[in-house]
Amino acid sequence: MKVRVSAPARLHLGDLDPFGVGRFGYAPLLALNEPRTIVEASESNDLKINALNIKEVEVYAKKILKAYNLPGVDIKVVSQAPRHFGFGSTTQLALSIGKAVTLAYNLNVKAIELLKILGRTSTGGVYIFEHGGFVIAGGLKIKVGEPIFESDKSLIPPLILHTQFPEEWCFIIAIPLKFQSSPYGEIEDKIFQELQSKKPPLSLIYKNYFLLASKMIPAILERDSITFGNALTEIQVLVGSIYKPVQGTIFNPASQWIIPILKKCGVLGVGQSSWGPTVYGFIDDEDKARTIFKKVEEEVKGKAELFITKADNAGAKYEIIN
């Protein structure tokens, strides 16, 4: 049987607590309809891979084949969200491979179980894959200085909330053409250790939790775009202030010039996804988004990739293709 798995990317709407005052990495996340990771797989007597990053795909595929005692798989990575841009693409790739391989053999395995087999730590992307929509990941219970992304075991946060995101709400995504790669793996762990060696800015962290609980969540449930946009921006500035000792600026240095352009052109809220360099502007209507998009396009003068996208409220989609 040949199957196709199509998984949404995600926006990280703010790492509220990188010091683990409450829970490390407590965060709101949003599934995006675009870009997507698409993987196809079919049964095979050996392992065949068609992908740009063959070695990485091979690692994930072999772990799944071994765990379920499967003979092999013919696997193709059709598309993938940009790597280390703030889209959570590595988690979505790993889970798409795991799901495609198991579905090819008619095995229905939960995403969290696959993540454990794959040896991946998640900051909430597993719930984006499984459910789509707006998700609050409850962070990790860890000790300061403890390895996170290079941990010997999979670390998976609890799911605090999952809800649908208003389908008419949009985001203008902006990615600068000139930037340095975002940190990941061992380098990311070292940056967190450097940050956590400093005194936690308690007032900023407490305010983040307050804004999420009292402003952002109710605004989504009540479809109050103004309150959501304001809460999004305020959380992002607070998070940027917390990360400033290791990031250098409130927003990624390569992307910060885009933020005032988005504001000037009329978006209701702004933010940076994870370490960036991806930044985004929030708009509550598709027609408005197109008008604002043209203004932003004129202002950035070809120095950034731009596109409009909406929330994905379904999560990963599966289909049999033969």
Domains: count for the chain: 1
Residues whose CB falls within 8 Å of the CB of residue 309, separated by 6 or more in sequence, listed in order:
32, 33, 34, 35, 170, 171, 173
Task: Report the distance separating Cα 80 and Cα 316, nearest Å.
Answer: 13
Question: Percentage of the chain with pLDDT > 90?
Answer: 79
Mean pLDDT of the 52-61 span: 93
Name the least confident of 170-184, 217-231, 251-265: 170-184
Domain CATH for 29: 3.30.230.120
Task: Give CA–CA dist 158/12, Å, rounded.
Answer: 16
Domain hosting 117: range is: 2-320
Indicate the range of 28-37, 171-180, 256-265 predicted with least confidence.
171-180
Is beta strand 47-50 parallel, antiparallel or unpaired with respect to 73-79?
parallel
Tell me, what's the pLDDT at 112?
92
Distance CA 195, CA 197 (A): 5
Quote the CA–CA distance of 2 and 319 in Å, as a whole number. Answer: 9
Say how far apart CA 121 and CA 125 lie, in whole Å: 9
Alpha carbon distance 99, 111 (integer Å): 7
What is the spatial distance between Cα 95 and Cα 127, in angstroms, rounded to a whole number?
11
pLDDT surpasses 70 at 298? yes
Quote the pLDDT of residue 182.
67
Q: Tell me if the pTM is above 0.85.
A: yes
pLDDT at 186 over 80: no
List, for residues 152-170, the tens digit of each pLDDT value.
677 889 999 999 999 999 9
Residue 285 has pLDDT above 80, yes or no: yes
